[in-house]
Structure 1
Amino acid sequence: MQSNVGLIIEEKAADIGNFMVGRLLPFRQKRAVGPFLFIDHMGPACLKEYQNLDVPPHPHIGLSTLTYLFDGAIFHRDSLGNSIEIKPGEVNWMTAGKGVVHSERTPEYLRGQDTYLHGFQIWIGLPKHLEQCEPSFFHIDKDAIPAWEDKGVAYKLIAGSIKDRESPVPVHSPMYFIEIKTKKPQTIDIGNRLFGEVGMYVLDGTVKIEGNDYGSKQLMIAKNASLCEFETNGQTTLYLFGGEPFQEERFMFWNFVNSDRSVLESAKENWKNQNLVAFPKIPDDDKEFVPLPEPKAIKSKR
């Protein structure tokens, strides 16, 4: 039988400023999985009392960002006027549309002490007709995220929808982001609930797919979502994500995404010139900003 695992991507280190992350997407051989364009695995990291997460104000266009923490806290501020602490299990969902600016920092009350940080930061593309929509922001409490158990397997639908469940996160296209946890070996067949393209990331433990073992820090891309069946080898935490891919190609430069390259060029000029109509300042965090990177030194600042 031909394997349903079409591609295995190893997590690779990436620098987002004063913090290292494990980058899963984009990858040279696979630029997106469904509408998912960019996935960073942050940590796990211990930040000493003299270290803090400080990603100054930086722009986005043409995408939604999803932040989901396992440990630690991040304080989010944006040019829409939102300011909120992100805690483990909550979902921060910001749709950039035609343009938004935000910053991500260690909360003030945690500065000066050892802290831990661990989680995902994800970019999800917008349908072509929404790429230039008005920006928006939603914060969803962890108790609002659908969670259930079936035959000893714990599920959580962080965002999107599957056959019989829907998350309150206001996504813009058919997609899903699912957490699966097991405490003992389990056989899981979830393919009849999925659609489009699907990727699997094993956070802890290992899984067996068609007789082969796969461990953490690996991203598997399935050839056929409807054939998504696997075994967990005891205590395992993994994530399934994907959905319907877009028909049009998405172009990326730094924090900008769009199906039209000319829109990226305009965004670059607007940020370089600090055009406050395109990219307003962030209330209470307007003293600094991340400069537009040179083409040969592009780093993601999310």
Structure 2
Amino acid sequence: MSATDPTDPMPHPAAPGLEAVLLPRTHDIGGFEVRRALPAKQRQMVGPFIFFDQMGPGEFLTGKGVDVRPHPHIGLSTITYLFEGEILHRDSLGTEQPIAPGDVNWMTAGRGIAHSERTATARRAAPHRLAGIQSWVALPKDREEVAPDFAHHPGASLPVLQDGGARLRLIAGQGWGERAPVSVASELFYADAVLAPGAALPLPEHEERGAWVMEGDVDVAGVRFEAGRMLVFRAGDAVSLKAGLRGARLLLLGGAAMDGPRYLFWNFVSSSRERIEEAKHAWARDRMGLVVPGDEQEWIPLPERQAVRAGSSTAVSEGSPTS
């Protein structure tokens, strides 16, 4: 099988520097289809990134939109980043924040937070499009139980680098000689790169690195990879990605390896199985005492699944919200 065969989960032997090629699974979140690249059977995390969904691109008819009802998180930070459309975020801290393309919504769950993500009523008055990425980063063990927090960063506040035919916006973390203003709990990088046909971009020198090919195709050491693949690279190897004749759009991510494995159940991430169980019982009993102001009438009940350790099969249930 070739590196562009959609059934091939492993890298082509002629692509040095590649550790794995991850193919996404399709899920539904509140009436919208997403492609989920992390967690995967071959790889649970890339640096602290433990969850990665591409939403769309897709179009909603008049009166329709995203409706991810209130749901909880612990032990992680969620990142929402859009290319098209708008999502209204509400959370149990009392935050109400729409996010537009190029902005960053960074929500730290810590010891517990609940939130919802919906299309605002005004936007439903006409057909509209939506496309973006939602991802999670696991918190270090000494930060898993911090107080919950939410931060919004307009796109204009993020560093943008231009080099020949490569244009890169640094969403979070540090790389390519720049640092984003988003406050992070561990060493990481996260960037949105658009490459003109034939343009090349090197990866930064972090311990673990990945690239989601969102549009077009890229060449890695002479081997071509189409859109819809998460490329995971070996530590220490110098790697450069070169766009094909159609150009490419990439999401680049990674950082330091986590300080041990993580358990996942639904929207909960923790280094402790017991902590996962506590959160499950708390949400099932009284929704952890968390109410989302402005969105109090609905919530997503706890699914009946068993927590597992990262490294074996995943425990993110189908139909679960993505951040």
Report what 1:162 is aligned to: 175
In the TM superposition, residue 20 of structure 1 has moved relative to its aligned partner by: 1.2
Report what 2:295 is aligned to: 285
1:259 aligned residue (271, 278, 281): 271
Report what 2:114 is aligned to: 101
The letter for the 1-side match of 2:321 is K
Report what 2:305 is aligned to: 295
CA contact (8 A) 1:163 1:194 kept: no
SS state of the match for residue 241, structure 2?
Answer: strand
CA distance in 2, matches of 1:286, 1:187: 48
CA contact (8 A) 1:100 1:279 kept: no
CA distance in 2, matches of 1:163, 1:181: 15
TM-score by length of 2: 0.89
Q: How does 1:135-174 map to 2 (within 5 A)?
A: 135-162=148-175, 164-174=177-187
Report what 2:26 is aligned to: 13
The root-mean-square deviation of aligned C-alpha atoms, in Å, is 1.6
In the TM superposition, residue 226 of structure 1 has moved relative to its aligned partner by: 4.0
SS state of the match for residue 295, structure 1?
Answer: coil
Q: List alignment gaps of at least 5 residues for structure 1.
A: none
CA contact (8 A) 1:255 1:301 kept: yes
SS state of the match for residue 240, structure 1?
Answer: strand
Number of residue pairs the alignment of both structures matches? 298
CA distance in 2, matches of 1:49, 1:208: 40
Report what 2:220 is aligned to: 209
Report what 1:88 is aligned to: 101
CA contact (8 A) 1:21 1:42 kept: yes
CA distance in 1, matches of 2:261, 2:67: 32
In the TM superposition, residue 205 of structure 1 has moved relative to its aligned partner by: 1.0
Report what 1:115 is aligned to: 128
CA contact (8 A) 2:15 2:221 kept: no
CA contact (8 A) 1:195 1:226 kept: no
Report what 1:200 is aligned to: 211
In the TM superposition, residue 247 of structure 1 has moved relative to its aligned partner by: 2.4
Report what 1:237 is aligned to: 249
Report what 2:233 is aligned to: 222
Q: How does 1:266-277 map to 2 (within 5 A)?
A: 266-275=278-287
2:259 aligned residue (235, 247, 253): 247
SS state of the match for residue 125, structure 2?
Answer: coil
CA contact (8 A) 1:97 1:135 kept: yes
SS state of the match for residue 261, structure 2?
Answer: coil
CA distance in 1, matches of 2:200, 2:71: 43
CA distance in 2, matches of 1:7, 1:283: 43
The answer to whether residue 150 in structure 2 is matched with residue 176 in structure 1 is no
CA contact (8 A) 1:31 1:37 kept: yes
- Which of structure 1's runs of 4+ aligned residues deviate more than 3 A? none
What does the per-residue CA deviation read over 1:129-150, in whole Å, with 9 as the maximum and x for residues that have no partner? 0101000000000000100211
Q: Determine what percentage of the aligned residue pairs are the same residue.
A: 37
In the TM superposition, residue 163 of structure 1 has moved relative to its aligned partner by: 5.2
CA distance in 1, matches of 2:249, 2:15: 26
CA distance in 2, matches of 1:93, 1:226: 30
What does the per-residue CA deviation read over 1:31-61, in whole Å, with 9 as the maximum and x for residues that have no partner? 1100000000000111111321111110000
Report what 1:62 is aligned to: 75
Q: 1:41 to 1:225 in 2, by over 3 A?
A: farther
In the TM superposition, residue 233 of structure 1 has moved relative to its aligned partner by: 1.3
In the TM superposition, residue 2 of structure 1 has moved relative to its aligned partner by: 6.9
